[in-house]
Amino acid sequence: MSEIKTGSPVVLKDASGLKDYGLFTGQKGWANSITTVPGDKSYVFFMPEDSKEMTVVDLDRLEYDESRDGLELDSNTIYKGE
């Protein structure tokens, strides 16, 4: 299991309370950015793979997406719209 870093492919494993933001359990996306609040915890700017909008979620709600191992968020993988 790989560590989640900025640009990592991730899966949202716990979307409780996030339905109003269009997020759902099992949703694939990217760790666009990671921030740590000293003395608290780490948070991820989660960007679904089919969107450019981000929602800040607790790092513990995500897991590294092994099925997309080796991919990173970059100009080739970012959602470009329809």
Q: In 1-82, at which residue ranges do the beta strands (DSSP E only) sit?
A: 9-12, 28-36, 42-48, 55-58, 62-64
Report whether pLDDT(6) > 80: yes
Report whether pLDDT(82) > 80: no
Domain-embedded: residue 4: no
Contact 7, 72 (CB under 8 A): yes
- The label of the residue with tokens 């492919």 reads 9
- Containing domain of residue 43, as a range? 9-67
Domain-embedded: residue 36: yes
pLDDT band for 1, please (50, 70, 90 cuts).
low
DSSP, res 2: P
Domain-embedded: residue 73: no
Domain-embedded: residue 22: yes
Domain-embedded: residue 78: no
Q: What is the mean pLDDT of residues 18-44?
A: 96
Domain count, the chain: 1
- Kindly report the average pLDDT of the chain as a whole number: 95
Angle at 64 (CA atoms; ends 32, 60), nearest 5 degrees: 80
pLDDT at 2: 80
Domain-embedded: residue 50: yes
Domain-embedded: residue 82: no
Domain-embedded: residue 80: no
